[in-house]
Every structure is written in structure tokens, then in C-alpha cells.
Amino acid sequence: MSEKSKVVEGSPPDYPRYRVEPGSKVSLAEIDPDETERYRKKKDVAKKLEAQRRRIRDLQERLYAENRRGLLIVLQAMDTGGKDGTIKHVFGGINPQGCRVSSFKAPSAEEANHDFLWRYHKSVPAKGRIGIFNRSHYEDVLVVRVKGLVPEEVWRPRYGIINDFERTLSAGGITVLKFFLHISKDEQKKRLQARLDNPEKHWKFSSNDIKERALWDAYQAAFEDAINNCSTEHAPWYVVPANKKWYRNLVVARTIADTLEAMDPQYPPAEEGLEKITIPD
């Protein structure tokens, strides 16, 4: 991780933030996907994860009641990187009324007939809500670039277009947080193998994943460019060590809780004179 993204001694909270500072350049090969701070196993963080989930739950309630601002969480990763597992474990306990997950696959014919941001913009959370993008507008500079689905003169300008889009959201009261769940190529092999070995995981296996795996280096390069070109003050990227699922969950949960806490959502003022009201029998 670059010097700037390391924790500054004594600055609260004093754990690694994994934030890619705007203007800095990260090299994914230099970021250890096995990192787990001082923790060794899932049990070491179980209570900590629960505490973070509680923070998210309480703050989400306030965000919903305030109804002035929203939070968009973008999850991106290589195949098997853990987007689904993160959603399940980090958001499992929150009020479904205030939260929506949008998953993006290859565009439908209708979606493909619009500008590339159209389908994403429609799914951006409303005020008071949390929106989770399982894959996102970044696919349009990732798979689209790696597979050559459009020429470079089409995808290259998209970094700037994406920055402008995210600035628009942020100016409209939507905070944008982006996570790259960083796994190693070996870890992906293990996870794909596990999907083959376990009949209950067969449904998750797609032979296309093997084809995509062959393009590992091209994807890493595309992710690196997306992260370096689009980590901004208004919409930072976080590169999360994700080989250990329990550590990944902890990092994502506390980053979201810290962000919500910094937003400091407030309950709206109560109606005047509530203390004088008696509920009729």
C-alpha cells in the first residue's frame, strides 16, 4: 500500500483504512491480500464485526429518519472475490426498508441502447437510503476494456465521465464509497475448486469463470487504472485485503460505520408541543 494510505500514527481510528488517497498511485501487486492486522482467526474478530454491524444499524436508522442524504456503496472484485458474501455478512442485520442491493450483469438490449451510465443512475439510492451496487458502472472500464467490447477511444474517456457522475451524486447529497475486494490468484483457484467440489456450490460455478481467470493480469491492470484514475475526495476507493473473508467483512463494515458516523445524520426535529398530547382512549 502506498505511504499515504497507511494509517497515520495516533490518528483516530488507529487501524489501517486502506483508502487510496486521491492523486496517489497504488500497485495491486504490492498490496498483500492476506493481511489481517494482528488478528489470526475468525474468532478474534467476531465481536468486533458485530459491534460494527450494530453501529451501521443505528446510523442507518438515523439516516433514514433524517431523509436528507444517502449512501452508495460500490462493490467490485475479481470473480469469487466475495461481493455476495460481503453483502450477506455486513448488511445481514440492517432494516431492509432503508437498503437496496442492485446487481449488474451484461446490459440488456434496452440498457445497451442508452448511454452507459443510464442503468446505474436509475439505481442510485434516494435520500435516506443506502444503496449497494454489486458490480457497477466500473464494469464499463473493466470487462468492457479487457474483452475489447468497445474501442479504447470509447472506454478511455469514461474515467473522467465516471468522476463527473460521482461528483454529481455527491453534490446531490449521496456519499459514494467504493470497495475493491482484493484476492490473490491462488485464492481464486481455491474458491473455484471449492465451487466444483461442493454440490451446493455448483450453481455458483460458471465455466466462463475459467475463461475470465485466464485474463487475470489484464483485469488487475484494468482495476489498477480504475482505482488510480477514480479515487477522489468525493468518492474514494478502498482496496480491502480479502483473502480472509472474516477480515474483509470487518474492514468493509468499519469503513461504512465510520463514514456514516462522519456524515452524522440527525433525527428531524419533533413536532411542537408533543409533551402536551395525550392519546385518547
Select 47 or 105, whichever has its Cβ closest to ligand ATP: 105
In the complex, what is the shortest distance from the CB of residue 192 to ligand ATP, in angstroms, rounded to a whole number? 11
Q: Whose Cβ is closer to ligand ATP: residue 148's or residue 172's?
A: 148
Q: Which is nearer to ligand ATP, 69 or 83 (CB)?
A: 83
Residue whose C-alpha is closest to residue 116's, from 128, 126, 102, 106: 106
Could you tell me which of 25, 29, 31 has the C-alpha nearest to residue 251?
Answer: 31
Contact of 59 with 93, CB cutoff 8 Å: no
* Choice between 206 and 266, CB closer to ligand ATP: 206
Helix ranges, the chain (H): 42-66, 83-91, 109-112, 118-123, 143-146, 152-155, 158-171, 185-197, 207-213, 216-230, 245-263
Q: Which residue is nearest to ligand ATP (CB)?
A: 139
* CA gap 178, 235 in Å, rounded: 7
In the bound complex, what is the minimum distance in angstroms from residue 139's beta carbon to ligand ATP? 3
Contact 137/123 with Cβ under 8 angstroms? no
| Nearest to ligand ATP of 129, 135 (CB atom) | 135
Give the shortest CB-142-to-ligand ATP separation in angstroms. Answer: 7
CB 36 to ligand ATP: min, Å: 23
Distance in Å, CB of 7 to ligand ATP, minimum:
30
Q: Which lies closer to ligand ATP via its Cβ, residue 51 or residue 143?
A: 143
Output the smallest distance, CB 136 to ligand ATP, in A. 8
Q: How far is CA 146 from the centre of its chain?
A: 21
Nearest to 149 by CA among 158, 140, 160, 137: 140
Give the footprint of ligand ATP on this chain (CB under 6 A): 79, 83-84, 104-107, 135, 139-140, 143-144, 206
How many CB atoms sit inside 10 A of residue 177's CB?
A: 20
